[in-house]
A and B are shown apart, each in its own frame.
Chain A
């Protein structure tokens, strides 16, 4: 989450890539529970 937001701050134009990246991370962690 944190690196994704930092990437957004330096390059805010790729919202698509950003939300897909965070969603992917979320699924990995939730699956690990």
Chain B
């Protein structure tokens, strides 16, 4: 996901350490204390140019009900502990936000916006559309070196405050597998054999969707990483390898082999509909990120969600790489309000608060389908499946994602 070499560390070292205790945190009270640098007159300008210095506008792509509510709770908690600062959220439909991000950041963006770490962030940093927050990072505690690398632009400066991440895997229902005697496949051949059996059992073996434009990319990334390895995938995403390379053709040939076992009509199906078919036992498996099935299963069925790592294709590469995008917060350079130093200080103060374990805890309490990035966050409430070694262990590779590389609908992948 990034040009910076964050090594082969698959998950943030911060969480890989399995820290179960929460430290007592020092936050909030001290930050922003020196922020009042503008004449008091400006604070009376209300919503005029530069804003009122205390209101921070937030561009949110979290339009789905669960994350939307969870963010609202986190921002309310921030407001409660801040000295009169307000977060004004501007929520845009998730896919619309993604597709318009380029125009948004070059037009009239909010002060803070939600986006992704790694290459997707670096793309905009390079274009000069982000505010550097290296000073914030000097005070951040609880983030691993890998996370810092993911939040750093090609110029070595920090631009992103990470909030949570979510591994991708092959999801299924525990009870369905138990009832039918299915075993989680380890290799591609076993995956295909299981899919064939599911077809015999009148199931759609693999729930499949791409109406949203991004869900199928997860499958592409995994087939590439399992076939050609993490380093190759990174080079492909960086534009260093031609898509016409025979190794890329091999990826599509393998994918073609899987398509007969995927739900037909995927281009007309949303991720919610695909996840629903898994929930209704119409489909047997689905390649998703942790939040996706989680959002579509009722509460009393959450514990039936299970998953296994995408199967081995080339034993040389095993199952080393884990696709695990990191979401976070950034400051938009073109925000007019941020030209007011006081508003800029307020926005940075919000980011400092969001960088704490407590802020992550508040969010994850309402949206437990993600994993905290801070080692100050309380992970004791995680279900056992979320503590599996292949998700947590260092030594795994975090993937540069093909869709993470697409700032807009028509853009090709980049590093």
Contacts and interface: CB of A to CB of B under 8 A. Distances in A.
Given A20-B243, A26-B414, A30-B239, 5 more contacts: A6-B210, A12-B255, A18-B252, A19-B248, A29-B411
B213 interface: yes
B239 A26 contact: yes
Contact of B244 (A6, A19, A25, A28): A19
A16 B217 CA distance: 19
B409 A2 contact: yes
Given A6-B213, A12-B259, A1 B406 contact: yes
Place the interface of chain A in its size category: 20 to 34
Given A2-B214, A23-B243, A23-B244, A15 B253 contact: yes
5 contacts: A2-B406, A6-B213, A6-B267, A9-B259, A19-B252
Place the interface of chain B in its size category: 20 to 34
Interface in A1-22: 1-3, 5-6, 8-10, 12-13, 15-16, 18-20, 22
B232 interface: no
Interface of A: 1-3, 5-6, 8-10, 12-13, 15-16, 18-20, 22-23, 25-26, 28-30, 33
A22 B412 contact: yes
B402 interface: yes
B410 interface: yes
Contacts of B242: 23
B240 to A, nearest CB: 10
Contacts of B207: none
B252 A25 contact: no
A16 to B, nearest CB: 8
Nearest to A8: B252
Contacts of A12: 252, 255-256, 259
Interface in B235-269: 239, 242-244, 248-249, 252-253, 255-256, 259, 266-267
Contacts of B253: 15
